[in-house]
Amino acid sequence: MSETQDLPPPGTAPEKAIPIPMPTPPLNPIPSLQTLRSWLPLYLSKTDATLSHVSRVLSTPSGTDTFLLTLCYTSLLSSSLLSSLSLHRIDAAARRLISQAIALPPNTTVIIDTSSLPPSCLLITSGRLKALSELISDFRIFVRLWGLLSIYNWGKRVYNSPPTDILVRRIVYTQVASNIAFQYLENGAYLASKGVLGWGKEKQGRAWIWSSRFWMLHVGLDFVRLWREARLRVLKGKAHPGSDEESKWTAKWRREMVVNAVWAPLTLHWSLEEGFASDFWIGVLGSVAGVAGFRELWRTTGQV
C-alpha cells in the first residue's frame, strides 16, 4: 500500500481533510532528578543574592526601621482581616444553630457544651499577628528615644545650608521645631508608661495626643513644601519632560506625596482622644506607607 494512499486529494477543503493526530504532552511533567540537580546552582545563586540584598537593607538604622514599619502594619492588617473572617464564620454558625433550635419541638431543652468547642485557628493567628504588630511598634518607639540627636543634626544642616526660597526655608524651620516637640513628648510619654518617669496617666495621654499633633503639623507642612518645590521647578525652567533627571525628580516627588497622603489621616486619628480609624484602616494606610518606602529602599540597595 502506498504511503500517500490515505491522504486527501488536492483541492480538498480544510474542514474535510483528515486531521493529523498531534502528540499530547504529559500532564504535570515531573522534572527528573538530574534536571533538579542542574537547577540547584541557579536557585542557590538567587537565594544568596536575595539574602545579601536583605542584609544590605537591614545594615542601616533607616533600612531596619522601614522594614519593621512595613512588617508592623502588614501584620496589623492581616490580623484585622483574619479576625473579621473568623467572626463572620462564628456569626454564620450561630445563625445556623439558632435556626435549628427554633425548629425543635416546644419545651425542648438545648444544652451547648462550649468547653468542648475547639478555639478558632483564625482568631488565634489574628491575636498573634496583632501581638507581633504591637511588639514591633513598641520597639520602634524605644529606638526613637535617640531621635532628638538626628533632629539636632537635621536642624544644624538646615541652618548651615538653608533653602534659597524663603517659604521653603520657613517651612523647614517650623518642621524642625515641630519634630523636636513631637520627639520630646513621645519620649516622655513612652518612658512614663514604662515607669521611668513620674508622669501620671492623664499627663501621658495628653503627651501622646500632642506628640501626634506636632507630627500632623509636620505632615501638613510637607504638602505645602512639595507644592512649592514643584511650583519653583516650573518657574525656574528646570522641568524638562521626558528627561532622565525629570523622571527621577517626579518619581521622588510623587512617592513623598503618597506617603504624606497616607500619614495625614493617621496623624489626625492619633491626634484625637477617641480617634476614628479602625485597625483595618490603620493597617491599610500604614502598609501603603511602608511598602512605598521599602520598594524605594529595595531599589536603591539593589547594587553592591
The yes-or-no verdict on residue 295 having pLDDT over 60 is yes
Cell of 168: 521653603
Structure confidence at residue 43 (pLDDT): 76
Query: For residue 36, is it left (φ>0), alpha (ψ between -120 and 50) or beta?
Result: alpha
For residue 61, the model assigns a pLDDT of 87
Look up residue 284 and give its DSSP letter: H
pLDDT tens digit string along 86-126? 766 666 666 666 665 666 666 666 565 555 555 578 889 99
Confidence of residue 281 (pLDDT cuts 50, 70, 90): very high
Q: Band of the pLDDT at 263, cuts 50, 70, 90?
A: very high
Contact 208, 186 (CB under 8 A): yes
- Nine cell digits for residue 134: 504591637
CB 233 within 8 A of CB 249: yes
Q: What is the average pLDDT value for the chain, to the nearest integer? A: 84
**What's the pLDDT score for residue 244?**
80
Least confident range from 36-50, 75-89, 253-267: namely: 36-50
The candidate with the shortest Cα–Cα distance to 293, out of 250, 262, 267, 264, is: 262
Q: What is the pLDDT of residues 42-61, one digit of tens each?
A: 778 788 888 888 888 888 88
- Among 7, 25, 5, 29, smallest CA distance to 16 is for 7
Taking residue 20's Cβ as centre, other Cβ atoms within 10 Å add up to: 5
Q: How many residues does the chain have?
A: 304
Residue 228 reports pLDDT greater than 70? yes
- Dump pLDDT digits (tens) for 164-192: 999 999 999 999 999 999 999 999 999 99
- Indicate the Cα dihedral angle 205, 207, 211, 213, nearest 10°: 70
pLDDT value at residue 50: 85
What is the SS3 assignment for 29? coil
Decide if pLDDT at 29 tops 70: no
* Greater model confidence, 247 or 191: 191
User: Residue 196 pLDDT > 70, yes or no?
Assistant: yes
